[in-house]
Structure 1
Amino acid sequence: MMRCVSRVAAASVVAGLLACGVVSAAHALWSAADAEPTAPVAMGRVAFGANPAADPEAAVYTPDGGPVEVRIPGATIAEVLGHTGIAPDPVIWRFQARGYAEGITGLAFDVAAARQVAADGTTIALDDGYAAERTVLRYSTMRVYPAAAGGDCSAVPALPADAGGRNVLVYDGAGHVLQAPGAYGGETVQDWCVAIGYNAPPDGLYRNTASAVGTGDDGRQASALSEWITAVGYPPTLDSVGEYANAAETSGTAVDGTSVSDAARWAAVLYPDASGEPDVILTLDPVVTSLRPDVAPGDHFGLESAAAD
């Protein structure tokens, strides 16, 4: 896999020279020099990428510290329509953030739900937390959050009190640490979870009562009463696009002149096809951190990054 590199040299003022596509190592190389006219000294390499958890070989690495993207397939989102029953489990999709930082550097990153992308290329921004109308995601809630130990995604976080109707939410996605400064020990891989649950109306509860009374041969009576509750789960669907009404009439005359006729009407409710559900793009934007308290995290692996100075 071809990966890009960037080089940074630091003197009294940091200067950078980006090189991409000529080295097949996934890292950015920092160098430092003091006031003496000596050759730069290598301080550390930095790499950051992301991939669907099911396909690590598809990892995409940033060549210059810019954001990388992972794509949640629309077909995965539409799977919530098949999760029926009482309080069904959400659809779970996983992705990974990966990278390392040598020397005195570290890595952190921001996770954001950026946009929906339809099959025809139409994009809908998700930065406000609201999915596009007439999509499965609009009637669902998507939660993006770090996995627990071992990649466990079962602890789906609750909606925050200030959700305000937003249905696309990212938890712990700002400044999330991938590797602390100076803690290099090889590439670090973090598992992240995406839980998608359909916002179905409350399930219905039906109370049932049965009673019986009997009289014995001696005239004594006995009675019994039983009650139970049945929960009814509504199947998830998109809003209907209308009702298709059908009508048929027929008439006939017999040989003896008798006439008969009949009519029937029936209707079908039409729902949108969920197979065209847009994909969702998540962005992971890395920053380089440093052990030096006077050096602010760098947004890019290039000219403005002095984290390894």
Structure 2
Amino acid sequence: MSTLEPPTSGRPYLRHFRLPVQEGSEERAQSRERRLIKSTLTTLSAIYLVSIAAFIVLAERLATGPDAVVASALTLLVIFALVVHALPGHDHARFGPANIITAIRAAMVSFFGAAMFFGNLSETIELYALVILVVSALALDGVDGHLARRTRLQSALGTRFDMEVDAFLILLLSVAAFLLGKAGIWVLAIGSMRYGFVLAQLGLPFLKAPLPPSFRRKVICVIQVAALCVLLLPIIAPPVSTAVAAIALLLITYSFGVDIVHLARRRHRPS
């Protein structure tokens, strides 16, 4: 499970698109760059085509209509385009199995978002199907990090890719909780917390500083997704759903608060 924190990459990169300069000749670096681009484009293209086919099948089974297929396909296309743009943060010659898992999760999240807006959330069967989709994406989230470490293909790109997919999923789940009437509009603060933190960095540059790894962040991130999944269940209604959402909001507020205080205090420490 990724953590909701700013990227911690501090490696120097070439001015233009290419891999970090390491030992070896310029030709070797360019060769690795070409292999990475080919591996990434081939992999993402295959995942994208399979995903579109899956979107069509799911849209037919859940009666979400063609709009859901178009919306999910466009969303996934934007996500993959951002991944390609961020390739300088992946200092390996191949895309890697961990990023493949994250890309599949991105496809799941994209369809969930589209189905939420274009589907019929009043249908119990559709809701349960979407819950199963989200739970599957959450289960895969426990695989990508392990694969990255096992294959020794960890990178700033992989960490950021995983983190942003999680953040996007939490945002969509909080919107779904609001649309279903499980909690008031304040529930949107759960999904907006990460993006508010990023926006705050524009006026408070010290928030851009890297944060140390934290088991607390990982646990609370899992709790957020689990709690919001519970809210989607038709059998969960106010005031129980309101209480669950409130606890989730308090936990994520506490987590971000701890990190902000840590970064603020470190700003005043002598270097």
Q: Verify same fold: TM over 0.5.
A: no
Structure with greater Cα Rg: 1
Q: Which has the higher strand share?
A: 1
Q: Which has the higher helix share?
A: 2
Identify the TM-score tier after normalising by the shorter chain. under 0.3
